[in-house]
Structure 1
Amino acid sequence: MVEKLDQIEELKKLDPKDMYSAVYNLPEQIERAAEVAYNAEIKNISDKIDKVLVLGMGGSAIGGDVLQSVLFKEAKFPVFVNRDYDLPNWVDESTLVFAVSYSGHTVETINSAKLSYSRGASVVAVTSGGVLKEFAQENNLTLVEIPSGMAPRAAIGYVTIPSFVILERLGLISSKKKDIEETVAYLRNKREEFKIEVPTEQNVAKKVAKMMFKHIPVIYAVEEKWKVAAYRWKCQINENSKYPAFYHFFPELNHNEIMAWEAIDNVIKPLTLIFLYTSLEGEMKIRVEFMQEKISARGVPVFLWQAEGNNPLTQFFSLTYLGDFATVYLAYLADKDPFSIGYINELKLRIGQALS
């Protein structure tokens, strides 16, 4: 019997807007994002920046989380992410604010961008158009205009890379050109292993999708700085696959969530666990092996995925690219369109917001 995930023509019928290709073409998207950001005209940015704030919601906000994680060991300034209509009180003329809205119509981001500007902050708009683009143009702000027409979550390259490039161009971080090149090369190589033409038996992305099918995935990041990778998996499972999913990170989860795994079988059996890690050494190795041992003994499927790459940017995308493919495949197994976001759009209409 032919595996469902190997029936390519049938799967295409489940994906009329071709989310699969958006995932497959991520390397080219990252290249284009860098090109656009390097060519953007920098306007009205203070030379006294001492903190960075990224504004965004949903798929547009995760670029801020990635910025924060990738610069964990490098930045000499704090990086914060704000998912709200309002702003922290400390935003001032020494704050560099990235207002990121793929559609340009995200109400929360537009509102907080205008507040940032009113407080004298240096605002950079990253968007494909809409109200945010108009706001940037009207106020002579730095605008990184990215291509439109994608689901925001599929535009992770477009909403992530420009912030790194602008910070580099301002002299606030080291050059990221080689890191971007390495990331693109890694993704191009890896997608040949994950692509739909590779049979399930040899395709780890399809195997992970099958492991998650009819289970509730729990994603653990083995380092706190990579909780953004676990969060990306969770959100992709939610939006692409229409599945519930949960995430946490080490070592914090060993002080609370570890006890949840002592629950009765009826609670534990529907779960499946995925560990994301860069390396397992010392105490962290003991923590992970202990949990793997205890949870596997309960009959819960466990999968470990290790980051690759010589820099944090590549490591992030190496942790998440598998999840991007696997969640599209999980949608196919569940007979779901990986592009559609019915409840999100229904809620936006009820609130009176523009659809993405």
Structure 2
Amino acid sequence: MSKKLDSQNLHAIINGLPQQFLDGYNSTDIKIPTDTKKIVFCGMGGSALPANLLKTYISTAKIDFHASIKINRDYVLPKATDKTWCGFFNSYSGNTEEILACLKEAEKRGLKNIVVLAHTGELKKIAAKKKYAFIQIPDAKQPRMAYGFYVGALLKVLVNSKLIKLDEKPFIKDINKAQSVVSSLEMKAQKLAKAAKDKVVLVYTTNKWKYTAMVWKINFNENAKTQSFWNVFPEMNHNEMVGFTHLLTKYKTFIITDPDEHSRNIKRTQIFTKLLGKKLNVQNIEMLKGSALYKLVTTLQLGLWTSYYLALLYKIDPAPVDLVEKFKKLMK
């Protein structure tokens, strides 16, 4: 069934997610000024996720990094952006109108350090014509399927620029370790997908891992073509959970937990499960034990596999996003 429905062979791409991080890391010798203090990363959809995940890794791995990264998902740059900032402009298709608009504005504001990331399209042409630093993104069929490569490449740029220090041996070891558990994660995901079928999927985690929950939610939206929402502890204990007093539909709730999390947050997830576990079909998913990188990569892959198999259960192709393409045509 998977071969018949999976027109773009996303199975193979998901299977190789850990290797993407390493391939991206080994892909570039680009560097930005060592004294860079502020970075703006412009991207939309799947082309914006890498910056969120890069920030997550830097934070959870407690890497010493003193520049700020502002993620921009809009037509205009943040007001404070000036020529002293470094700008990353990312569009897998190379034709995302918001990013092309941001690049034009960056040029007007006189940004001297510009890095372009694309697979093809107008953005790639502009980079070649104006000789901007350029990172070639390989064919991943869909933008959301290339974030491992993006994160690896962005990480290497920071290393090349001496903005962070990274011991490559543990990095490579963790990637290989993550690749070794791909099959077991796939089997686990098949069970999770069955549990999520015909329900609205909620994804919760703690604040430090919030972007993993966001990516899981997006995976369910784009791969399984279904409704999904995310939030974080402890904030959701102060508002969102009250909304489940009167249910309007059936839910499947995944809570991504880190055994190394703050003890009070662990207690919050436990109490939430006790109070609403049956009502919301709560299932706690504990991250695999290991380094921050290992936790990040394996958790992301589990989410991809789960959304992939949920799509197959719905008998739909996980790859295309027809509604997005239709919307783009109407915007022209």
- Structure 1 length as normaliser, TM-score? 0.86
Does 1:61 pair with 2:45?
Answer: no
**How far off is 1:83 after superposition?**
0.5
How many Å separate the matches in 2 of 1:316 and 1:206? 20
- Who is 1:198 aligned against? none
**How far off is 1:210 after superposition?**
0.5
**How far off is 1:275 after superposition?**
0.8
Matches within 5 A, 1:206-245: 206-222=190-206, 224-245=207-228
How many Å separate the matches in 2 of 1:277 and 1:176? 27
Distance 1:15 1:190, change over 3 A: same
Decide which of 101, 106, 121 is 1:111's aligned counterpart: 101
How many Å separate the matches in 2 of 1:36 and 1:337? 31
- Identity of aligned pairs, percent? 26
Distance 1:334 1:159, change over 3 A: same
| Preserved CA contact (<8 Å) 1:23 1:324 | yes
Distance 1:104 1:309, change over 3 A: farther
Aligned length: 327
| Preserved CA contact (<8 Å) 1:168 1:176 | no
Give the RMSD, CA atoms, in angstroms: 1.8
Deviations 1:232-274 (Å, cap 9, x if unpaired)? 000000000011000001111111112122224xx2x501111
- Who is 2:39 aligned against? 52
Does 1:315 pair with 2:307?
Answer: no
Deviations 1:67-111 (Å, cap 9, x if unpaired)? 222222432122211001101111122212211111211111122
Unmatched 5+ stretches in structure 1: 1-9, 196-202
**How far off is 1:297 after superposition?**
3.7
Distance 1:97 1:240, change over 3 A: same
**How far off is 1:13 after superposition?**
0.9
| Preserved CA contact (<8 Å) 1:179 1:313 | no
SS at 1:219's partner residue?
strand
| Preserved CA contact (<8 Å) 1:30 1:157 | yes
How many Å separate the matches in 1 of 2:21 and 2:190? 24
- Who is 1:200 aligned against? none
Deviations 1:202-257 (Å, cap 9, x if unpaired)? x21101000110011100012x1211100100000000001100000111111111
How many Å separate the matches in 2 of 1:313 and 1:259? 34
How many Å separate the matches in 2 of 1:236 and 1:338? 9
Decide which of 309, 325, 331 is 2:305's aligned counterpart: 325
* Segment drifting more, 233-242 vs 95-104: 95-104
* Segment drifting more, 79-88 vs 27-36: 27-36
- Structure 2 length as normaliser, TM-score? 0.92
- Who is 2:236 aligned against? 253
**How far off is 1:277 after superposition?**
2.2
How many Å separate the matches in 2 of 1:326 and 1:162? 26
Does 1:144 pair with 2:144?
Answer: no
Decide which of 205, 209, 213 is 2:189's aligned counterpart: 205
Does 1:81 pair with 2:71?
Answer: yes
**How far off is 1:336 after superposition?**
0.7
SS at 1:36's partner residue?
coil
SS at 1:242's partner residue?
coil
* Segment drifting more, 70-79 vs 161-170: 70-79
**How far off is 1:134 after superposition?**
1.9
| Preserved CA contact (<8 Å) 2:30 2:133 | yes
| Preserved CA contact (<8 Å) 2:87 2:115 | yes
How many Å separate the matches in 1 of 2:140 and 2:15? 16
| Preserved CA contact (<8 Å) 1:179 1:311 | no
**How far off is 1:310 after superposition?**
4.3
**How far off is 1:309 after superposition?**
5.5
Matches within 5 A, 1:190-201: 190-195=181-186
* Segment drifting more, 279-288 vs 88-97: 279-288
Distance 1:297 1:148, change over 3 A: closer
* Segment drifting more, 19-28 vs 175-184: 175-184
How many Å separate the matches in 2 of 1:289 and 1:281? 13
| Preserved CA contact (<8 Å) 1:126 1:162 | no
Does 1:12 pair with 2:8?
Answer: no
**Which residue identity is paired with 2:87?**
V
**Which residue identity is paired with 2:52?**
D
Decide which of 332, 335, 338 is 2:318's aligned counterpart: 338
Deviations 1:287-341 (Å, cap 9, x if unpaired)? 111100111242x322222223644333222221101011110000001100121
* Segment drifting more, 48-57 vs 331-340: 48-57
How many Å separate the matches in 2 of 1:120 and 1:312? 37
How many Å separate the matches in 2 of 1:46 and 1:118? 20
**How far off is 1:278 after superposition?**
1.7
**How far off is 1:128 after superposition?**
1.5
